[in-house]
Structure 1
Amino acid sequence: MSVGADDLHEVTSPTLYPGRSIPVEPWRPIGIDDLEPAAWQALRDTDNVAVVAGPGAGKTEFLAQRAAYLLQTGLCPVPQRILAISFKRDAAANLGRRVAARVPEHADRFVSMTFDAFTKGLVDRFAPALPSSWRMDDGYEINFVPRFQIDSVLIDLLSTAPHHMRRDLASITANRFVTDVVGGWNLPVVLTERDLADSIAYAAMAWWRQRYLRPGKASLDFVMLNRLAELLVRSAPKLRRALRITYPFVFVDEFQDTTSAQFSFLESVFSHGPAVTAVGDDKQRIMGWAGALPRAIQHFTAAFDATPYPLTWNFRSSHSLVQLQHVIASRLDANSVPAVSKVAEGEAESAELWMFSSLDREAAFIAAWMAEDMARSGRAPKDYALIVRQKVSDFESRFRVRLAAHDIRVRNDDAQVGEMRLQDLLKNGTAQLLIGLLLLANQRRGLATVWRAVSMSMERMHGAIGDEAAQRRVGETLSELIALLRNWLEINPPVATSAADTVKHLLSLLDAEVLRRYVKSSSPSEDLDVTITAFRERLGAVMGLATD
């Protein structure tokens, strides 16, 4: 396979249609009443902009409205598109759905994906256009190297590197090596000894030689794919021109979590070209452990000559919560601007800030407060959530003991179940299907929402969407399956039945091979065996506490 001008013809030579379906001035937001003044200014600015906003400010909604504005007014003309880059798949999917709901007629011209998906897609499609010294002969596989192997590489470097580099190499830590060293080095188009004159380049190149520049299949992670994509675009002017023409507007969500590699990629591809909109919260950098740049939004403003627009409206938090947030924000930034709550006043509520001298005192106080509040309000334990910034395991044992003293059980959604986190398992489509089937078999009526969700999953599994006859057959199959499962559960109660047997029987009724084919086609990245193992482990953990 080779990449030439013909491969890029479609995107380098678009047919532009300058006519606008809706004039700029009368355009109004879709699905919401209005935007705050600063949001209006940012929305109408067709140059690079940095929208800085805290939690609840409607950052995703702003991007959806900006997309609608650009698409409906023709500022982004047919057939050009808007590219939206997010850091997580659910955020990318959420933004895509929101734009589709606002402007369904333009949904196909709004491309929402993650950073990793975008850079991987470029490498997968245009890898043959890489400079000759960086081309892959046998393809690649994605592997994540454990820390002990990175430690081994760094130890080897200390014994083989030139003496004048060893002090600098000794200061490199394994937990930051891939993000800061490998991710911070731009691959040279033509590699020379001069390119390896400093310790960072020397260490990064050693990594590339071990995992990529070797016989056989290359072993890559997403940081390395990012670096290859950046090199690809930098060394292939036609590709960069194609991307810039195809995407005259680029959105980047949660910009405060941008890594040095991702920032370098954005600069190579989109600086001095498309209008880039960066949206983020400069007080909420939670991905520092993963290499997020300090002051990333300020870096963007300087590098892209972007105009900053701070948003102050808050659509999520009540007045009392906004006041509390400002107390904390002021500790981080004395010049922090107070947010304005746009939440309608409801029942009396309060927000308080408590400070404790130890974790044990914190756990004891909160457990006692919850027990007292439950007794006073009539609320149940499920109506409460304990949100921990990080290292939930450090807090769980303390809270579990203190809450147990008040006869309150706690569930840790961050707990490891097999090879998955419980919160990921609970959101997983396969797990939700299995839970739904068990619920329907256990309770004969009153679960219409669960029935609809399970029916929809079954219809997708059997390819029955849009086919009324096939949908009826799926409905009949589901009814029969529920009846068989209900009979089996009645003679195999949880006190006498293992979770393994329950899951095995459930999968036999469902037809595991049909499920496997469906998961493979709809969620290629999901390992069904990992999901089933985690589901079986979690079911076993809770069955011992249940009577049905």
Structure 2
Amino acid sequence: MTGRLVKDANAWRPVGIDNLEPAAWQALRSTGSCSVTAGPGAGKTELLAQRAAYLLQTGTCPPPQRILAISFKRDAAANLGSRVRSRIPEHAWRFDSMTFDAFTKGLVDRFRLALPDSWAMPGEYTIRHPSRGEIRSFLNRLLREAPWTLRSEIQSFDAETFLPHVVGGWDLPLVRPEDPLDDPVAFAALEWWNRHYVPNNQPLLDFIMINRLGELLVRATPRLRRALRLTYPFVFVDEFQDTTAAQLSFLRTLFAVPGADPGSFPRQARAGHVDKPVVTIVGDHKQRIMGFAGALPNAFAAFAADFAPEAHELTWNYRSSDHLVGFHHTVARRLDPSAPRAVSKAQHPPADEPIGLWIFNDRQSEAQTIAGWIANDIAASDRRASDFALVARQKVADIDPHFQPALAHHAIRLRNDDASVGRMKLQDLLKNEVAHLVIGMLRLAATPVGLPQVWMDVTAAIGRIRGTGGDEGAARILSDELTAIIVALRAWLREHQPAPELLADALKQVVAAIGYDALRRHSRGESLRDILDSVHARLQQVTVPTPTLDWSTVLEEYEAADAVGLLTIHRSKGLEYHTVFFLGLDDDQWWAHAKNVRDSTSAFFVGLSRAAQRLVFTTTSPSARAGGIADLYDLLTQAGIRERVVSEQAWPGT
């Protein structure tokens, strides 16, 4: 099962799609590091999937070498991994897609004994996310204890950005300083480590600290660094505009070598000599929405300084209609006056009133009207509930109680992707690879036929866990083993009808069949216990005993694949829908707009660009146009977007 190889790289063609735009072809065939700027709908995920196919199918990345893809968010990592598996299933075992946090945590967990002596980990660590109040208390105490020459700088530190900017901005020295440092960033960061890491038998770490330990590991351990570079001669980084100082520092330490010839690497790789891995980054500075989490304002320029990449800009939009693309350009020019207008390549029929602003009297009227409109549109078309999304800047928990009953009245489900399930958010849980595997096995056992894609996904996941790779004999053995597991699991499910008290036992059956330790290793550095607890909590949510309840129904409700999505702008990033209702264009949702107008406008840009054919802004505040987000309303005016006051009985466009 080695997969199709194309001996002549010039003869290679895209897999699963007809073609790529010229700039995408150039980036795909690049022999050196490259930086790809791509706006919304440009097919960033598809480009990376096709580049992976090209590298693996042409032998440019030969076995056993692999491609490492790193993303900021879990769902982006999951989406890219899934896309590659769908395009080149025979090669996908050599494509590792994960988040920065998962990758660095995996390194620390496996190699922490190699940390320099003065940073040796005294015991098992606990992951903890300090509150803003805790950080503020630390800074207040630090201000009192710091030398007077540093107090002015320390007083300027913001509790909200202290971890990403200060702790994340300091590279741990090989030898931990014993004496106070005279640089305010180094002084504050060292004190943070001294209080949370050094004296504790069980250190308290957040993911920024784990990143710093991971960077120290590869810097202090040349053999580990070389092994990783041999394993991953090609690296992808998605959504690069959201990269933090700590993440860029990690990339630089692991993969950048100043002065190396970027175009020479593939030839050197085949000879087993890794001088400089080829790094491909994609992103869009206009969609930088993680500034609050430490995203660098100049990430692309910083990358260029370290990696000397080729630069490519994609200008085709495969998602949105031409009318919507025109509105994108209006907003994009507010963020970047030189932004080119994208070319719509979407194959959509024209929609009636593709963009609008609906004004309601109150939340209840808004929910009931939109729910009725969605039901009407579904009945009049071949669209499904999952073609619609409700997107808001924040506070989706306040929106959920209004829309859940309004949509349920029309027998339409609403899935709040921002809802907490155990220790995870629902969107993260549904994208989690371990959770997806566990539920996939239960689905195969509960539904004897008709799930070929689930079978392929489960087989591929277990193959990765067992390390079968491209070995055909091992793949046949694995298939026989999986069949036996599913048959036994099916028998158990038949003997035990779904009930809240049996859900934990059902999960234990699956975990035992795969192996707890094997699953833990496959959890990409995340807590397997947290994942399983969240799966159990979600199953409990959707298991409502009725006389006709069966396992298939429970598992369908678990995924709620055919549901209207309710999500924040940050959770909508990378997703697309036929129709997007952009809720709450008012000061209530956008209360912090004036604090950082650029980042807020970027969030506005991200949210509106999720729509493929229809975009509806809503507000329950008729005076919002003259409020704190008047500049956003000005963009609607420039684009000629029509507004209307909507009553529940009048459904626009239907």
Q: TM-score normalised by the shorter chain: which range applies?
A: 0.7 to 0.9
What does residue 130 of structure 1 align with? 115
What does residue 414 of structure 1 align with? 418
Query: For 1:521 and 1:218, how far apart are their aligned partners in 2?
Result: 23
Which amino acid in the other structure matches residue 391 of structure 1? K
Alignment pair present for 1:158 and 2:158: no
Alignment pair present for 1:503 and 2:507: no
**Deviation (angstroms), 1:365:** 5.3
**Deviation (angstroms), 1:420:** 4.1
DSSP-derived class of the 2:282 partner: strand
Query: For 1:47 and 1:473, how far apart are their aligned partners in 2?
Result: 45
**Deviation (angstroms), 1:84:** 2.0
Which of the numbers 167, 175, 193 marks the counterpart of 1:190? 175
Structure-2-length-normalised TM-score: 0.65
DSSP-derived class of the 1:386 partner: strand
**Deviation (angstroms), 1:37:** 0.6
What does residue 520 of structure 1 align with? 516
**Deviation (angstroms), 1:202:** 1.2
Alignment pair present for 1:393 and 2:397: yes
Q: How large is the RMSD of aligned CA atoms in angstroms? A: 4.3
Query: For 1:123 and 1:77, how far apart are their aligned partners in 2?
Result: 28
Q: Cα deviation per residue 1:379-422 (whole Å; 9 max; x = unaligned)?
A: 69946431223331244456569879999885534233454434
Structure with larger Rg: 1
Q: Cα deviation per residue 1:39-98 (whole Å; 9 max; x = unaligned)?
A: 111122222211111232221221122223334444445554432222234433443454
What does residue 35 of structure 2 align with? 50
**Deviation (angstroms), 1:262:** 0.2
DSSP-derived class of the 2:68 partner: strand
What does residue 349 of structure 1 align with? 351
Query: For 1:503 and 1:344, how far apart are their aligned partners in 2?
Result: 45
DSSP-derived class of the 2:340 partner: coil
What does residue 17 of structure 2 align with? 32
Q: How do 1:147-226 residues align onto structure 2 when only pairs under 5 Å count?
A: 147-192=132-177, 196-226=181-211
Which amino acid in the other structure matches residue 150 of structure 1? I
Q: Cα deviation per residue 1:279-333 (whole Å; 9 max; x = unaligned)?
A: 1122222322322222322332344322321111222223333233223323322
Unaligned runs of 5+ in 1: 1-19, 441-446, 490-501
Whether the 8 Å contact between 1:122 and 1:229 is mirrored in structure 2 is yes
What does residue 280 of structure 2 align with? 277
Which amino acid in the other structure matches residue 286 of structure 2? K
**Deviation (angstroms), 1:207:** 1.1
What does residue 308 of structure 1 align with? 311
Alignment pair present for 1:253 and 2:275: no
Whether the 8 Å contact between 1:58 and 1:315 is mirrored in structure 2 is yes
DSSP-derived class of the 2:20 partner: coil
Whether the 8 Å contact between 1:181 and 1:204 is mirrored in structure 2 is yes
Query: For 2:29 and 2:429, how far apart are their aligned partners in 1?
Result: 41
Q: Cα deviation per residue 1:16-45 (whole Å; 9 max; x = unaligned)?
A: xxxx96233333323322211111111222
Structure-1-length-normalised TM-score: 0.76
- Point out which structure has higher relative CO (alpha carbons under 8 A, 6+ apart): 2
Q: Cα deviation per residue 1:484-522 (whole Å; 9 max; x = unaligned)?
A: 556xx8xxxxxxxxxxxx3114555x4846656758346
Query: For 1:376 and 1:23, how far apart are their aligned partners in 2?
Result: 49
**Deviation (angstroms), 1:211:** 1.9
Q: Cα deviation per residue 1:467-498 (whole Å; 9 max; x = unaligned)?
A: 6598468547636744x556xx8xxxxxxxxx
Q: Cα deviation per residue 1:140-189 (whole Å; 9 max; x = unaligned)?
A: 34333333332332232122112232232233232222111110111122
**Deviation (angstroms), 1:266:** 1.2
What does residue 499 of structure 1 align with? none
Whether the 8 Å contact between 2:28 and 2:51 is mirrored in structure 1 is yes
Higher alpha-carbon deviation: 186-195 or 144-153:
186-195
Alignment pair present for 1:296 and 2:299: yes
Higher alpha-carbon deviation: 288-297 or 124-133:
124-133
Q: How do 1:106-145 residues align onto structure 2 when only pairs under 5 Å count?
A: 106-145=91-130
Whether the 8 Å contact between 1:51 and 1:280 is mirrored in structure 2 is yes
What does residue 272 of structure 2 align with? none
Q: How many residues align?
A: 503
What does residue 322 of structure 1 align with? 325
Query: For 2:253 and 2:355, how far apart are their aligned partners in 1?
Result: 45
What does residue 3 of structure 1 align with? none
What does residue 378 of structure 1 align with? 379
Whether the 8 Å contact between 1:317 and 1:341 is mirrored in structure 2 is yes
What does residue 231 of structure 1 align with? 216
What does residue 564 of structure 2 align with? none
Whether the 8 Å contact between 1:367 and 1:406 is mirrored in structure 2 is no
Higher alpha-carbon deviation: 308-317 or 188-197:
188-197
Whether the 8 Å contact between 1:253 and 1:279 is mirrored in structure 2 is yes
Which amino acid in the other structure matches residue 185 of structure 1? W
Change (3 A) 1:25 1:468: closer
Which amino acid in the other structure matches residue 414 of structure 1? D
Higher alpha-carbon deviation: 298-307 or 42-51:
298-307
**Deviation (angstroms), 1:250:** 1.8
DSSP-derived class of the 1:163 partner: coil
Higher strand share: 2
Query: For 1:451 and 1:32, how far apart are their aligned partners in 2?
Result: 21
Higher helix share: 1
Change (3 A) 1:340 1:543: farther
Identity of aligned residues (%): 47
Query: For 2:421 and 2:82, how far apart are their aligned partners in 1?
Result: 30
Whether the 8 Å contact between 2:445 and 2:486 is mirrored in structure 1 is no
Change (3 A) 1:140 1:187: same
Query: For 1:512 and 1:75, how far apart are their aligned partners in 2?
Result: 42
Whether the 8 Å contact between 1:417 and 1:537 is mirrored in structure 2 is no
Alignment pair present for 1:86 and 2:71: yes
DSSP-derived class of the 1:279 partner: strand
Higher alpha-carbon deviation: 310-319 or 259-268:
310-319
Whether the 8 Å contact between 1:46 and 1:275 is mirrored in structure 2 is yes
Alignment pair present for 1:478 and 2:490: yes
Unaligned runs of 5+ in 2: 259-275, 467-475, 521-526, 551-654
Q: Cα deviation per residue 1:208-267 (whole Å; 9 max; x = unaligned)?
A: 111222252333222112112222333344443444444332211111121110011112
Query: For 2:224 and 2:347, how far apart are their aligned partners in 1?
Result: 49
